[in-house]
Structure 1
Amino acid sequence: MALSAKLQLRQSQSLVMTPQLMQSIRLLQFTHTELERFIDDEIERNPLLERVETAEDGPSDQFPKIETQSEANPATSEDWFEGEAGWSSEAISEKLDTSLENLFPDDPGAVERMGPDLAMQWKSASTGSGSGGSSEGFDMEDMAAAAITMRDHVGEQISFAFTDPAERLVASELTDWLDEAGYFRGEADEIAARFGVDEAFVLRVLTGCQGFDPAGLFARDLAECLRVQLMRRDRLDPAMAALIDNLDLLAKRDFHSLKRICGVDEEDLLAMLAEIRALDPRPGGAFSGGSADTIVPDVEVRQAADGSWAIELNPDTLPRVLVDQVYFAQVTGRTKDAAERNFLSECLQNANWLTRSLDQRAKTILKVASEIVRQQDAFLVHGVRHLRPLNLRTVADAIGMHESTVSRVTANKYMLTTRGVFELRYFFTASIASAEGGDAHSSEAVRDRIRQMIEEEQAADVLSDDAIVDILKKSGVDIARRTVAKYREGMNIASSVQRRREKRAMAGAAS
């Protein structure tokens, strides 16, 4: 068989992802903050883009901003050793009138004696030129004081605690190794080698730093943090020291072993536990800021007059961007250089693409949110017990979109409903089969039922995982024991043995 070369023409189809198409896909999953940052960059690069600033711009009362504490700050002092603690505080501010009459209450002629230039400056300040010429003074609520950082707080104490320059230098280095909770996470031997001193010198400085306020700073672990606070209160007796050395048993609620190890009876042990709960496991939490993350809902769902659900996009999350066609026409008419004309044409093309992409993004979010509301109507009316099993494919098929598109749209987007603010991903839950062959149950609804059963149990009747399985099956939920255990652990709920020990101990303390 002879081999020969020949030329053939073939026609084929392929999907090519252009840079603009890829960027349009990225826009779908951008959060509000990320989208604003991206648009700012585009406006800086493209002279044809401009933001639309209207009188309506600004915070909207219709879409309140809900703040959530970050994990850096604990919220309660009751169960902090279970890892679910957090603290909150309210800012208190008062209005301060700084008018000239209050600055010089007994000397009306003081302003004239200041000289014309200085008097003009005082008058400008008092008339509130930044607020349209109002003379009502400024509002302290509009000004935020700079937060005191942990490093600043510790630095002030270092100046008074150490006189030796070497000790101050090492103490400052130790401060750099504090984490958000106030724990020292460095290695004393490495610091000693870096500064050319003995490790004992570093440890001595560390011990001195552990005397700073608040008590517990510079501790190397939780046990040392609690031990330092108890020593400050003169409460570190042998029994309490034994309790601190066995925090693992405390976490397991093994009160029987703790009574034996500490050599105390049940009443004394409960009193010791009360003292432990009163301590602060995160002494640096007050300085770490734990700045509240502001959640701005992308969609609002409210009930209409006819009983249906009205679904609207939050205008605060929709950037207003326009293409300046007038500027483009003026500059193009005066430009004769081919490179400049090509640059302007490219800018116009990119600007038009961005406005179309933002419009398409808004329509896609609204379409996905509308389908979620349609699917989860029972949840909005009756609550979490009526949350339906839902997956991305179901929504994608209903609105004629790809599953990956729905996934990008629901990422980091929030919906404001009559029942609170929820991430769009919250409404997508796995399904648990029905024991009676009916409709499946949402995993989130089952979690809520497990949580309520455990909250209502008594010390004499603590439910085991098997007992919870039996109760759920009687109510039509076909669930395995390991699934109940997984849900319980996911909600940070202890086992039935640990819960029984704690409830009996609490009941004994109450009596």
Structure 2
Amino acid sequence: MKSLQRLEMRQGQGLVMTPQLLQAIKLLQLSHLDLAAYVDAELERNPLLERAEAESFDGEGGFDGEAAEPRLAQDLDLSRGEIESDLDTCLDNVFPDDGPAAREAPGGDSLSLTPAPWGNTGGSFDGEDDEAPDFEATLTSESTLREHLAPQLDLATRDPMERLIGGFLIDAVDEAGYLREDLAELAEQLGVRTEVVARVLSLVQGFDPSGVCARDLAECLSIQLKERDRLDPAMQALVSRLDLVAKRDLAALRRLCGVDDEDLAEMLAELRQLDPEPGRAFGAGPVEVLVPDVFVRPAPDGSWLVELNSEALPRVLVNQSYYATVSRGAKSDTDKAFLSDCLQTATWLTRSLEQRARTILKVASEIVRQQDGFFRNGLAHLRPLNLKTVADAIGMHESTVSRATSNKSIGTSRGTFEMKYFFPEAIPGAAGAAAHTSEAVRHRIKQLIDAEADDVLSDDALMQRLRGEGVDIARRTVAKYRESLRIPSSIERRRERAARAVR
């Protein structure tokens, strides 16, 4: 049997992940903060890129000049023929231009790349000063818990060994003000006896804030009660059984502490006045505000107007005149190759940013169309939705929709929500009824519990109520949703009501 070798030509189709396409995919899933950092790095590296100047607010609800999309396209097409000649390819190979139909939402809502006027905070209003004061310059840094404790240690002792051990203990304190490390292990690390570490720990526990450096909640509360001269035997017994306090087992607490109902109520009220996490008042990080990528507001005709947030949209342009000037003076092949690479990178970045904006806007508009009931009537009308439904409606791949909704948020009159929030899991309806979302069911459980009168609803009772409303749900699911809302069980709620009745 002979083996033959021959050449054959076959034609087939395949998807080639070019560096430019990979860049577009990467930019799509970035948050606006990560995108801004990426663009800043490109602006420093690429001399042909420059930041576009933001439009000035005209004070009448709009921006001077044309919309952002035509302007970006106009700046891009200044020398389209020259760019395609330098890149030896057509710009439409990877980023095909959307036709007129692609610029409209499936429900007829217009997709606008024009920034939302009421989302802009950088413009001047009614002739106010263009240069607003720098608010960040007026802020002062908040001292950390360690910075607050270290000076107290210097004043409390002059012994170098105690200062060393005390500094070690302060460094080991967590953000809540607790010492989670074992004293024996700390003593072994320091090479001293455990009794020495315990003595210094007792010294540090007397520092402000009261209760700091405690090893558990009971010790933290005991330190605070001791400073108030309220740590009597009855209160010690109460603090030693915080599990009964959490369960609101008043009968067991009365027997344990040897007090009557009135005294127990006063002790519990005093316990509630204490701070269970004394370290939280120090060194708290800055609150991260969720900045919307898209704004949604009602239109005069009853539909929804979906607009990009200009503050979260980086604007860069290719400096064609600078490229033309520099390229004429380039002599060596190395310089020409560098300029060609810079031009290619700059061109693809501007195209990627424009395509990213269009994709986010298109996906957000379809989400608004699908969740119209939520935007009009609230959480109870949030309907089940998945990525495939949105992808099929706008003619995109499911993975593209997933990337477009990652790390993005929508600003509405009801608040700012992550885009992933609008894709809740579905809970089937009972007896063929429509499906419900998990968020809507949680909301309904909270409503039923808040409306409790004399009769406290158990998880079984809640399950029967929901099934009567057409929600096919199990008791364990009701319990899971109730716990996620941080609502105690029916037994604990009954005990809490009894405690309030005594007070």
Letter in 2 for 1:386: H
Partner of 1:450: 445
User: For the structure 1 residues 24 and 345, does the alpha-carbon distance in structure 2 shift closer, same or farther, using more than 3 Å as the test?
Assistant: same
1:505 pairs with one of 476, 479, 499: 499
Which of 270, 273, 281 matches 1:278?
Answer: 273
Matched, 1:466 2:464: no
Query: Separation in 2 of the partners of 1:431 and 1:191?
Result: 50
Residue of structure 1 aligned with 2:485, choices 470, 491, 499:
491
CA distance in 1, matches of 2:352, 2:136: 39
2:34 matched to 1:34? yes
Distance 2:207 2:148 in 1: 10
- The CA deviation at 1:473 is 1.9
Matches within 5 A, 1:192-207: 192-207=187-202
In 2, are the aligned partners of 1:63 and 1:297 still within 8 Å (CA)? no
2:393 equivalent to 1:337? no
After superposition, the Cα gap between the structure-2 partners of 1:133 and 1:331, relative to the gap in structure 1 and judged at 3 Å, is: closer
- Separation in structure 1 between the aligned mates of residue 444 and residue 45 of structure 2, nearest angstrom: 54
Structure 2 equivalent of residue 248 of structure 1: 243
Structure 1's unaligned 5+ residue stretches are 66-130
Give the 3 Å change call, closer, same or farther, for CA 61–190 of structure 1 in structure 2.
Answer: farther
Correspondence 1:309 to 2:304: yes
Q: TM-score, normalised by structure 1?
A: 0.81
- The 2-side partners of 1:479 and 1:249 are apart by 32
Give CA-to-partner distance per residue, 1:246-284, whole Å, 9 cap, x none: 222222333332222222233222222211111111111
Aligned residue pairs total: 439
2:119 is aligned with 1:63: yes
Q: How does 1:87-102 map to 2 (within 5 A)?
A: none
Counterpart contact for 2:379–2:439, Cα < 8 Å: yes
Q: 2:359 aligns with which of 353, 356, 364?
A: 364
**Deviation at 1:4?**
4.1
CA contact (8 A) 1:64 1:296 kept: no
Runs ≥4 in structure 1, deviation > 6 angstroms? 131-134, 138-141
1:208 corresponds, among 203, 206, 231, to 203
- The answer as to whether partners of 1:368 and 1:409 remain within 8 angstroms in 2 is yes
Q: Distance in 1 between matches of 2:243 and 2:16?
A: 58
Corresponding residue of 1:411:
406
Secondary structure of the equivalent of 1:343? helix
Q: Deviations over 1:454-511 (max 9, x none)?
A: 11113x30001111121122222222222211211111111111111111211222xx
Alpha-carbon contact 1:259-1:266 (below 8 Å) kept: yes
Q: Which residue of 1 aligns with 2:139?
A: 144
Shift of residue 139 of structure 1?
8.9
**Structure 1 residue 427 corresponds to structure 2 residue 483:** no
- Aligned partners of 2:402, 2:15: CA distance in 1, in Å? 21
Higher relative CO (Cα under 8 Å, sequence separation at least 6) belongs to 2
Aligned to 1:89: none
**Residue in 2 aligned with 1:85?**
none
Q: 2:47 maps to which residue?
A: 47
Structure 1 residues 34-71: Cα deviation after superposition (integer angstroms, max 9, x where no partner): 111111111122111111233649x9972289xxxxxx
| 1:166 aligns with one of 158, 161, 170 | 161
Corresponding position of 1:239: 234
1:267/1:133 CA distance change after superposition, 3 Å: closer
| 1:177/1:184 contact within 8 Å kept | yes
CA distance, structure 1, for counterparts of residue 120 and residue 328 of structure 2? 47
Alpha-carbon distance in 2 for matches of 1:370, 1:408: 16
Structural mapping, 1:169-188, within 5 Å: 169-188=164-183
Provide the secondary structure at the position in 2 that maps to 1:421.
Answer: strand
C-alpha separation in 1, matches of 2:402 and 2:16 = 21
Residue pair 1:60, 1:316 contacting (<8 A) in 2 also: no
Q: Does 1:482 align with 2:482?
A: no
What does the per-residue CA deviation read over 1:131-173, in whole Å, with 9 as the maximum and x for residues that have no partner? 9999xxx898851122222122111111110111221122112
**Matching residue's letter, 1:359:** E
**1:8 Cα offset (Å):** 4.1
C-alpha contact 2:384 2:437 (8 A) present in aligned 1: yes
Deviations, residues 187-220 of structure 1 (Å, cap 9, x unaligned)? 4334433433222111111110000001011111
Moved more, 162-171 or 208-217: 162-171
Q: Which moved more, 1:22-31 or 1:201-210?
A: 22-31
Tell me by how many angstroms 1:242 deviates: 1.8
Change (3 A) 1:383 1:139: closer
Gaps of 5+ in 2: 58-114, 122-128
Distance in structure 2 (CA, Å) of the matches to 1:225 and 1:382:
46
Cα separation, 1, equivalents of 2:135 and 2:377: 43
Letter in 2 for 1:215: S
Q: How big is the shift at 1:431?
A: 2.0
Mapped to 2, the partners of 1:429 and 1:184 lie a distance apart of 39
TM-score (norm 2): 0.82
| Identity across matched positions, percent | 57
Say whether residues 1:227 and 2:283 are aligned partners.
no
Contact kept, 8 Å, 1:159 with 1:168, in 2: the verdict is yes
1:62 aligned partner, one-letter code? W
**Aligned twin of 2:62:** none
Deviation at 1:243, TM superposition (A): 1.9
Structure 1 match to 2:2: 2
Contact 1:434 1:478 survives alignment (8 Å) = yes
Which residue type is aligned with residue 425 of structure 1? K
Matched to 2:457, the amino acid is L
Q: Which residue identity lines up with residue 483 of structure 1 in the other structure?
A: T
Aligned residues: CA RMSD: 2.4
Per the alignment, residue 23 of structure 1 pairs with 23
Name the CA shift for 1:217/1:132 in 2 (closer, same or farther; >3 Å). Answer: same
For the Cα contact (< 8 Å) 2:142–2:283, is it kept in 1? no
Alpha-carbon distance change, 465 to 347 in structure 1, aligned in 2, over 3 angstroms? same
- Give a deviation string over 1:71-101, Cα, whole Å, max 9, x none: xxxxxxxxxxxxxxxxxxxxxxxxxxxxxxx
Q: Distance in 1 between the 2:178 and 2:116 partners?
A: 41
